Amino acid sequence: MTVSKMAQNLIGSEIIRVAGEVNAMIAKGEPICNLTIGDFNPSIYPIPEELRQGITKAYEQGHTNYPPANGVAVLRKAVVNFTQERLGLTYPESDILVAGGSRPLIYATYLALVDPGDKVVYPTPSWNNNHYCHLSGATPVEVKTRPENNFMPTAADVKPHLKGATMLALCSPLNPTGTMFSKKDLEEICDLVLEENRSRSEGEKPLYLLYDQIYWMLTFGNAEHYDPVSLRPDMRDYTIYIDGTSKCFAATGVRVGYAFGPAVVMDKMKSILGHVGAWAPKAEQMAMAEFLQNPKAVDGFMNEFKPKVQESLNTLYNGFQELKAEGFAVDAIEPMGAIYLSAKIDLAGKTTPDGKVLETSQDITFYVLHEAKLAVVPFSAFGSGKDLNWFRLSVGGASLEDIKASVGRLREALQQLK
């Protein structure tokens, strides 16, 4: 049996592969601290009670039929108001597109803008852009980033690659790093996009910016979220925002995402997703519309949710700093946003108790998993090289107690290496 060349060459998710081994160990009763999946354990991080009640009520009211292809009107109106009040971004209801989470919206952006062979520029590490390029036939242009700049791209990093490109794909707060753009860096990148578009001839496809800000409500300390159109209003014609409720309300399984941007692009994205049928369930849409219009409930939830996430991230960060101070080859970047810690576990060249030499980030991943019972994901799962020994640690699925215990087990595992 033969399948398409696209399907033949599609690479599976490395995160899912690691998670499969983790789940097998958990099934055997091993005490794994699972920091692999960008998800939330509902027993630790339940969705807002008002949202839960609203979903139940919506089903009881019979909202079980197809929603409109672009989302129910009350939700799109709620998103308009929420985005205006919280971000200062004003978009008409007709330019809001609702879907079953942010993934279909990102894919629809690729399909609406990118022809086979078109250049798509994106930083590494970043989430899934390599796979979306493969699915759409795009020519990927990977821009390596550095820990010195918190793995966020700068204008100098992307400038050599924008000529002739169709799309620049960015995310802040960034999955997998949990780091964010500074105002200066994002302003300078926007200026490059505007400059490139001014240089293009009439009828030539513009350079668009896909801006994934799904984690914007989860920022910590003095970190501040910035977005392209707020910084440079002229970016409005070129920016497609990816947003939603999955992460900020611990509601990943509720599957309500939304996008907004230029009408000409959003209309085509709507048509694409209408054929795919990737809408969010109607009852969840109705409930989310009601919840977004209840600022007291939103703020009440966030005031409890964010400190809890931040405490887990800070516990991990401080644990890595203690290990670093003890002389181990580890480090971490102070948490800024999202639910991720960027951690360096540089064990390449070390020898395990059974005589195996650790060479790649995959080797390190599985050593830490089996010896420290700590499950992490290497940045190679996000497009970086296997020689980059940095890892994503996602705190949504683990309790604070499990995280604290994992640091001690990691210390013991590091002590065993030669």
What does the pLDDT look like over 60-98, one tens digit per residue?
A: 999 999 999 999 999 999 999 999 999 999 999 999 999
186 has a pLDDT exceeding 80:
yes
Average the pLDDT over each of 29-33, 55-59, 153-157, 411-415 and give the range with the smallest value. 29-33
How confident is the prediction for the chain on average, in pLDDT?
96
418 has a pLDDT exceeding 70:
yes
Predicted confidence at residue 177, as pLDDT, reads 98
Cα separation, 240 vs 190, in Å, equals 13
CB-neighbour burial class of residue 193 (10 A; exposed 0-12, middle 13-18, buried 19+): buried
Identify the band that residue 259 occupies on the pLDDT scale cut at 50, 70 and 90: very high
Predicted confidence at residue 366, as pLDDT, reads 93
Identify the band that residue 4 occupies on the pLDDT scale cut at 50, 70 and 90: very high
| Secondary structure, 3-state, 236-261 | HHCEEEEEECCCCCCCHHHCCEEEEC
Amino acid occupying residue 149: N
Predicted confidence at residue 1, as pLDDT, reads 62
Top-confidence range, 30-34, 201-205, 332-336: 332-336
Cα separation, 367 vs 362, in Å, equals 9
Q: pLDDT for 227-257, tens place per residue?
A: 999 999 999 999 999 999 999 999 999 999 9
Q: List Cβ neighbours of 29 (8 Å cut-off, separation of 6 or more).
A: none
Predicted confidence at residue 55, as pLDDT, reads 98
pTM score above 0.75: yes
Amino acid occupying residue 166: T
Greater model confidence, 112 or 23:
112
Check if the beta carbon of residue 51 is closer than 8 Å to that of residue 288.
yes
Predicted confidence at residue 17, as pLDDT, reads 78
Predicted confidence at residue 19, as pLDDT, reads 79
Q: pLDDT for 289-321, tens place per residue?
A: 999 999 999 999 999 999 999 999 999 999 999
15 has a pLDDT exceeding 90:
no
Predicted confidence at residue 161, as pLDDT, reads 98
**Average pLDDT, stretch 205-221?**
98
Check if the beta carbon of residue 259 is closer than 8 Å to that of residue 279.
no
What share of the chain has pLDDT > 90, as a percent?
Answer: 94
The full set of domains in the chain, from first to last, is 5-45+300-416 (3.90.1150.10), 49-294 (3.40.640.10)
375 has a pLDDT exceeding 90:
yes
Cα separation, 106 vs 209, in Å, equals 12
Predicted confidence at residue 417, as pLDDT, reads 97
CB-neighbour burial class of residue 364 (10 A; exposed 0-12, middle 13-18, buried 19+): buried
Q: pLDDT for 90-129, tens place per residue?
A: 999 999 999 999 999 999 999 999 999 999 999 999 999 9
Cα separation, 342 vs 392, in Å, equals 5
Cα separation, 305 vs 63, in Å, equals 29
